[in-house]
Amino acid sequence: MKTLNDFNFENKKALIRVDFNVPLNENFEVTDATRILSAKPTLIKVLEDGGSCILMSHLGRPKGVDEAFSLKHIVSKLEEIIGVEVNFVSNCIGEEAEQAAALLQRGQILLLENLRFHDEEKKGDKTFAQALAKLGDIYVNDAFGTAHRAHASTTVVAQYFESNKCFGNLLSKEIESINKVMDTGEKPVLAILGGAKVSSKITIIENILDKIDHLIIGGGMTFTFIKAQGGHIGDSICEDDKMPLALEILKKAASKNVKVHLPIDVLAANAFSNDAETQIVDVNAIPDGWQGLDCGPKSIANFDKIVNTCKTILWNGPLGVFELESFANATIQLGNSISSATKNGAFSLVGGGDSVAAVKQFGFQSKVSYVSTGGGAMLESLEGKTLPGIAAILE
Ligand code: AMP
């Protein structure tokens, strides 16, 4: 795996695919600069080597050229974070971009306009990718969030650099974290899968059963498993058509010696609302008219025990409806358990969608080993797919 450290960028122009798809407010100011901060180590390495950076990214989902999605809006934030003046060019390909790239001196940064102002980007168009490739000497992919897309700047462009291509710091860290969980993690390995539906997690479960020792299932998908086993789930969310699949998963897990831990009790509510009436009930005996919206205290204690016996932990999906304060407790307690296991030497990776949001919301970000920056890309990695953006660098 070729990383930044395999190259000396002195007098080289690094063409870097970053993910600067940041949120902007109505005054076009960056409201969350996490993604720019995440790219900083890669840019600093190139600049400190005595190279220059040509940055390319998408921003939002523009239909053609649209000022509202211009990357010029992020220039001042980027300058503030990196501490270097940023040159901006209003087209990512063509004469203007080529001239700006040619004039770039060591230690300088050039930001190209939004790649998605050209339809060719998402189509993975070869001519467009070649036009981008012309701009730099070494291609660096540091955008994990789009690594599962075979777009021109994330995948196709790599073929024009032969051996002059590598992963940026952020993408390397993502790959290493996934590998730690999937291949090289210290045992026992635990996966915690929550969220709403079995159907959206089934491929992940099937892929990871060979790699884990314990599986905690929480969140809404609990109830498909409980009902399939004959439990009474009241009005809880359930995918009836996935019940045979749930039983199949339990059978497969048993045959692979994976211990599956489902909630024992739940916090049930008489409505899907923050101020609904609630009661703690056995997960197998939820009264009609009530729905399980969070795990109960016995489940939380049991999960805490398991988490703290494991050395490698993957967390994907909340244990309850954490967006509603009344049903956030199990998700918060799980965050606490993982934080303490991490403090005691476990490796913990939080990845994919809502668990990342929960970890950020409740302040666990610095207490777990790694929080993934790519939702869809992380899910596809956990499903065992080879991401095109990663494959293109390895080829
Ligand atoms: P996912 O995107 O599949 O990870 O699902 C996340 C969503 O699952 C969040 O919006 C949660 O509110 C929801 N969720 C978690 N637990 C439950 C539950 N017991 N009943 C209904 N929805 C839930």
pLDDT of residue 355: 86
**Given the CA of residue 317, which atom of ligand 1 is nearest to it?**
4
Asked if the domains at 4-172 and 185-381 fall in one CATH topology, the answer is: yes
Give the integer Cα–Cα distance in Å for 69 and 21.
10
pLDDT of residue 25: 96
Locus of tokens 């314990």: 214
**Given the CA of residue 352, which atom of ligand 1 is nearest to it?**
4
Distance 220 CA to ligand 1 centre (A): 5
Distance 368 CA to ligand 1 centre (A): 21
- Could you read off the pLDDT tens digit of each residue along the chain, which spans 395 residues? 899 999 999 999 999 999 999 999 999 999 999 899 999 999 999 999 999 999 999 999 999 999 999 999 999 999 999 999 999 999 999 999 999 999 999 999 999 999 999 999 999 999 999 999 999 999 999 999 999 999 999 999 999 999 999 999 999 999 999 999 999 999 999 999 999 999 989 999 999 999 999 999 999 999 999 999 999 999 999 999 999 999 999 999 999 999 999 999 999 999 999 999 999 999 999 999 999 999 999 999 999 999 999 999 999 999 999 999 999 999 999 999 999 999 999 999 998 778 888 998 999 999 999 999 888 899 999 999 999 999 999 98
pLDDT of residue 58: 98
Give the integer Cα–Cα distance in Å for 353 and 376.
8
Locus of tokens 């476990």: 346
Mutate to test the pocket of ligand 1, among 270, 321, 378 (most ligand atoms within 8 A of CB): 321
Minimal-distance CA residue to ligand 1 atom 6: 195
Give the integer Cα–Cα distance in Å for 191 and 310.
10
The pair of structure tokens assigned to 9 is: 């960028």
**pTM of the full structure:** 0.91
**Given the CA of residue 322, which atom of ligand 1 is nearest to it?**
12
> Ligand 1: does its nearest atom lie under 6 Å from the Cβ of 263?
no
> Ligand 1: does its nearest atom lie under 6 Å from the Cβ of 318?
yes
Query: Is the backbone of residue 280 left (phi > 0), alpha (psi -120 to 50) or beta?
Result: beta
DSSP string, 89-128: ES-SSSHHHHHHHHHPPTT-EEEE--GGGSTHHHHT-HHH
Do residues 148 and 19 lie in contact, with contact meaning Cβ atoms separated by under 8 Å?
A: no
CB neighbour list of residue 386: distance below 8 Å, 6 or more residues apart: none
pLDDT of residue 1: 84
Comparing C-alpha atoms, which of 91, 153, 161, 165 is closest to residue 128?
A: 153
Locus of tokens 């005595």: 50
pLDDT of residue 340: 98
Every domain of the chain and the residues it spans: 4-172, 185-381
**Given the CA of residue 321, which atom of ligand 1 is nearest to it?**
12
> Ligand 1: does its nearest atom lie under 6 Å from the Cβ of 202?
no
Give the integer Cα–Cα distance in Å for 315 and 355.
7
Q: Look up the CATH superfamily of 185-381.
A: Phosphoglycerate kinase, N-terminal domain (3.40.50.1260)
Q: Look up the CATH superfamily of 4-172.
A: Phosphoglycerate kinase, N-terminal domain (3.40.50.1260)
> Ligand 1: does its nearest atom lie under 6 Å from the Cβ of 196?
yes
Distance 197 CA to ligand 1 centre (A): 7
pLDDT of residue 357: 86
> Ligand 1: does its nearest atom lie under 6 Å from the Cβ of 136?
no
Give the integer Cα–Cα distance in Å for 156 and 326.
47
Give the integer Cα–Cα distance in Å for 291 and 289.
7
> Ligand 1: does its nearest atom lie under 6 Å from the Cβ of 293?
yes
> Ligand 1: does its nearest atom lie under 6 Å from the Cβ of 195?
yes
Residues with a known catalytic role: 35, 197, 353, 376
Comparing C-alpha atoms, which of 17, 242, 1 is closest to residue 142?
A: 17
**How many angstroms separate the Cα of 384 from the Cα of each of 3, 210, 279?**
22, 11, 39
Distance 235 CA to ligand 1 centre (A): 15
Q: Could you count the other beta carbons within 10 Å of the beta carbon of residue 374?
A: 24
Minimal-distance CA residue to ligand 1 atom 3: 195
Give the integer Cα–Cα distance in Å for 16 and 111.
10
